[in-house]
Amino acid sequence: MNMRSALLATTVLGGVIGVAWASMAAIDITDDFTIGGRFKQGVALAYDPSIVRGGGVEIGQMNYWAELTASWKPSNNITFTGDWWLRGDWYSDLGGDLIQPGIPDYSSPQYLDTFDYHLNEKGGGRPAGPQINPPPDPFDNTDHQNRFLSDFNDEVIREMAVKLTDTRNRYALKVGKFVRGWGQSDGLRLLDVLHAQDFRMKFAFGDSDEIRIPNWMVAAEFSFDPLGLGAPFHAIGITKPKIELIYMPEYHHDQLVINNATTGDNTSGGLYGAPYPLEIDKESGYGIPFFGAHLTNLGRKRFDFADPTLAGRFQFRILEGEATLNALYAYQELPIVKFRGSNLVVGNAFHDESNATAVVPLSESATQTVVFAPVGGYAAFLRGPAPLLSGLQNILGTGAINPFGCTAVGVIGPMCSVNVKFDLDWRYRRKLVGGSYTRDMVELPFGPKAVAPVFRTEFSYEFDKPFNKSTSKDQFGRREEGIAAVVTTPTEAVTKKDQISIMTGFDYFLWVPFWKNQDGSIFTSFQLFTIITPHAKELLFQSPYSSYGSKLHKVQNYATFLFFRNFDDGRLYVEGLAAYDFQNKGWGIRQRFDFNYFGDNIRPRLEFTHFEGRTEQGVFGIFDHVDNVELSVTFQF
């Protein structure tokens, strides 16, 4: 079953940002050497009943953050910069106890309930032998993946670079590890695609400058006018032309931890981990007991100087606005799921290969026979009248996997389960072109202060984008839909389609007509996104989180709205962000209050985050359990 996923439409909300942290104060060591930094500790209280047993609240996150920045400019033409982070989440060490549903409960009606399990080391251990009613936590999950993000190259170094500039502004060259942000959109990333994203701490509601994953790279920028090459562009109405070229030999993909309840391969990302997906047969409506998944990453070399990411951006002014044309040749940030056979776990109904009587590898063909055989197959039996546990277990113990004779409790013989093996293939190329345009609409002032809006638009066209299919044909010629669709050969389960994305947005400094004493404007930003996949029939989000409810729409629309305003002479900063998914009827909000009453160094923040969505449909349906209120304090210098 294709969990890793959800990274889903991660494309979807993919970087919905707010306003970045208040600028850190800096310490001037010498005239040309400056350091700065911050220390942050937060505690978030989760309150969604699906993750907090018995209602109420529970510690959801305790994110900590330490950052040190440095800048040295020995001359006007050379600058060295550095930025190092230490971060993590230790909620499980200090009493956090979150609960999530896992694999189907085979003792429940129609197998639609699930076994709950703890996301941390408070688990009650595995049940002792087969039993119809195991304890509520049959798994030993440990939430250590996010405790300390300590890989020096991938997670500690945020920037370590040198920038060379020309006195006459003809060129600039930056070499090292750093981040380069492109694009105009503040939500779904149409052109801001140079870097993968890290969703382990805040998912898509983190600030974009904090979730981009930096790369070792070279960025070269050339200005045509100082180089004496601007005249041909001026002749066609283009001014201030310049071009940026990117060479990136280091590869990263998006980072997200799955809260995986399959024993023997436990992972947990805590509150913002991707939840274990539903296992429901779409045709019968029954849950699918005894089937889990084993995932294997198929990546590429972290460094490859001969096969790098290449990108270019042409920037210019035209029609009194700022425009860009962009091109990218990179790798996909999300994986494609490929079926690779299975393991029969004899003597254990909970997929735990380390506590099995025997583990029997099954080929792709043998697995499909067990699952899809028109007579005697698991799916056929599940879709028949009142399927019984004994019958489902007997199917697991027949044919290619005799003589084990798997049976349900009450019948002589062992209970069994199956771990279906999937590859998560990150090796597909990404080919994208696009452009953006921003203009201050001075001709259209309105409101009490006659303020002109700022118009922004952005588009991208991606060629041959890979997708998993939501339906496929099994080896017996039957069309399968839902979870069963990925239990087929990669050639049948994977396809490539072009995709068009368009953003239209307006920024406006709002003066409220009835607010007589308003002493400053309210910044507002509205954006509408349209994603068109002309041949989207029977496709899943890339990567599919689950086949149950996550079909890709031919036309998908999202809207975001952002506002912020300072009050009390700048000491109270209020920012709100809302996003809406039109096709899947899902929405999310993030509300922040920054209290700047304690000098220049101490910054308390209160942040409220809430998601609502239909189960497993779109990004909001996947993450509607992460509702929380967080209080954090940052000390900056």
Looking at the fold, whether 589 and 482 belong to one and the same domain comes out as: yes
Q: Is residue 182 part of a domain?
A: yes
Q: Is residue 1 part of a domain?
A: no
Q: So what's the pLDDT on residue 548?
A: 63
Judge contact between 363 and 339, C-beta under 8 A: no
Residue 12 has pLDDT above 50, yes or no: no
Which of 374, 396, 419 terminates a domain? The answer is 419
* Band of residue 413 on the pLDDT scale cut at 50, 70, 90: low
Q: What is the pLDDT of residues 149-163, one digit of tens each?
A: 989 999 999 999 999
Buried-exposed string 117-126: b where 16+ CB fall within 10 A, e elsewhere: bbbbebbeeb
Looking at the fold, whether 369 and 514 belong to one and the same domain comes out as: no
Q: Closest Cα partner for 261 from 499, 427, 98?
A: 98
Alpha carbons 287 and 278: distance in angstroms, whole number: 8
What DSSP string runs through 399-456?
A: GGGTTS----TTSSS--EEEEEEEEEE---EEEEEEEEEEEE-TT--BTTTTBPPEEE
Phi-psi region of 330 (alpha: psi -120 to 50; beta: other; left: phi over 0): beta
Q: Is the peptide bond before 403 cis (omega within 30 degrees of 0)?
A: yes
pTM of this structure: 0.89
What mean pLDDT comes out for the span 383-411? 73
In the chain, % of residues over pLDDT 90? 51
Which of 360, 390, 419 terminates a domain? The answer is 419
Q: Closest Cα partner for 616 from 301, 277, 285?
A: 277
Q: So what's the pLDDT on residue 443?
A: 95
User: In this structure, which long-range contacts are made by residues 603-608, counting pairs with CB atoms below 8 Å and at least 24 apart in sequence?
Assistant: 603/22, 603/633, 603/634, 603/635, 603/636, 604/631, 604/632, 604/633, 604/634, 605/42, 605/630, 605/631, 605/632, 605/633, 605/634, 606/630, 606/631, 607/631, 607/632
Q: What is the pLDDT of residues 284-320, one digit of tens each?
A: 889 999 988 888 888 888 899 999 999 999 999 999 9
Sign of the CA dihedral with 231 first, then 237, 241, and 245 last? negative
DSSP state of 614: S
| Domains: count for the chain | 2
Looking at the fold, whether 124 and 164 belong to one and the same domain comes out as: yes
Rg, Å, the chain Cα set: 27
Looking at the fold, whether 78 and 116 belong to one and the same domain comes out as: yes
CATH number of the domain encompassing residue 593: 2.40.160
The upper half-sphere exposure of residue 634, i.e. CA atoms within 13 Å in the direction of its Cβ, equals: 21
What mean pLDDT comes out for the span 546-564? 85
Judge contact between 301 and 251, C-beta under 8 A: yes
Domain with 400, as residue range(s), is 338-419
Looking at the fold, whether 361 and 254 belong to one and the same domain comes out as: no
Q: Is residue 588 part of a domain?
A: yes
Judge contact between 567 and 574, C-beta under 8 A: yes
DSSP state of 273: S
Residue 555 pairs with which residues in a beta bridge?
A: 532
Q: Closest Cα partner for 464 from 304, 619, 332, 333?
A: 332
Looking at the fold, whether 158 and 244 belong to one and the same domain comes out as: yes
Q: What is the pLDDT of residues 562-608, one digit of tens each?
A: 999 999 999 999 999 999 999 999 999 999 999 999 998 999 999 99
Which of 375, 397, 419 terminates a domain? The answer is 419
Judge contact between 81 and 71, C-beta under 8 A: yes
Looking at the fold, whether 259 and 179 belong to one and the same domain comes out as: yes
Q: Is residue 61 part of a domain?
A: yes
Q: Is residue 2 part of a domain?
A: no
Task: Out of 56-65, 391-400, 534-543, give the one with best mean pLDDT.
Answer: 56-65
The upper half-sphere exposure of residue 457, i.e. CA atoms within 13 Å in the direction of its Cβ, equals: 8
Q: So what's the pLDDT on residue 23?
A: 39
Q: Closest Cα partner for 423 from 543, 342, 337, 546?
A: 337
What mean pLDDT comes out for the span 398-417? 65
Looking at the fold, whether 545 and 611 belong to one and the same domain comes out as: yes
463 or 280, which is more confident?
A: 463
Looking at the fold, whether 328 and 342 belong to one and the same domain comes out as: no
Alpha carbons 118 and 101: distance in angstroms, whole number: 9
The upper half-sphere exposure of residue 452, i.e. CA atoms within 13 Å in the direction of its Cβ, equals: 9
What mean pLDDT comes out for the span 48-68? 90
Tokens of 111: 């197998």
DSSP state of 124: -
7 or 189, which is more confident?
A: 189
Looking at the fold, whether 132 and 146 belong to one and the same domain comes out as: yes
Q: Is residue 316 part of a domain?
A: yes
Q: Is residue 349 part of a domain?
A: yes
Judge contact between 215 and 175, C-beta under 8 A: no
Residue type, 409: V
Buried-exposed string 216-228: b where 16+ CB fall within 10 A, e elsewhere: bbebbbbbbbeee
Least confident of 19-33, 218-232, 373-387, 551-565: 19-33
Residue 547 has pLDDT above 90, yes or no: no
Looking at the fold, whether 162 and 307 belong to one and the same domain comes out as: yes
Kindly give the pairing relationship between strand 416-425 and strand 291-298. Answer: parallel
Q: Is residue 43 part of a domain?
A: yes
Residue 359 pairs with which residues in a beta bridge?
A: 345
Task: Out of 12-26, 109-123, 463-477, give the one with best mean pLDDT.
Answer: 463-477
- Taking residue 443's Cβ as centre, other Cβ atoms within 10 Å add up to 8
**Average pLDDT over the chain, rounded to whole?**
86
* Band of residue 410 on the pLDDT scale cut at 50, 70, 90: low
- CB neighbours of 27 closer than 8 A, spacing ≥ 6? 34, 35, 36, 637
- CB neighbours of 325 closer than 8 A, spacing ≥ 6? 313, 314, 433, 434, 435
Q: Is the peptide bond before 547 cis (omega within 30 degrees of 0)?
A: no
**3-state secondary structure at position 622:** helix
402 or 5, which is more confident?
A: 402
Alpha carbons 462 and 190: distance in angstroms, whole number: 10
Looking at the fold, whether 325 and 346 belong to one and the same domain comes out as: no
Name the strands in the sheet holding 291-298, side by side, starting at the edge strand that comes first in the sequence: 291-298, 416-425, 336-346, 358-362
Alpha carbons 495 and 467: distance in angstroms, whole number: 5
Sign of the CA dihedral with 334 first, then 620, 269, and 290 last? negative
- Report residue 159 CA to chain centroid gap: 22
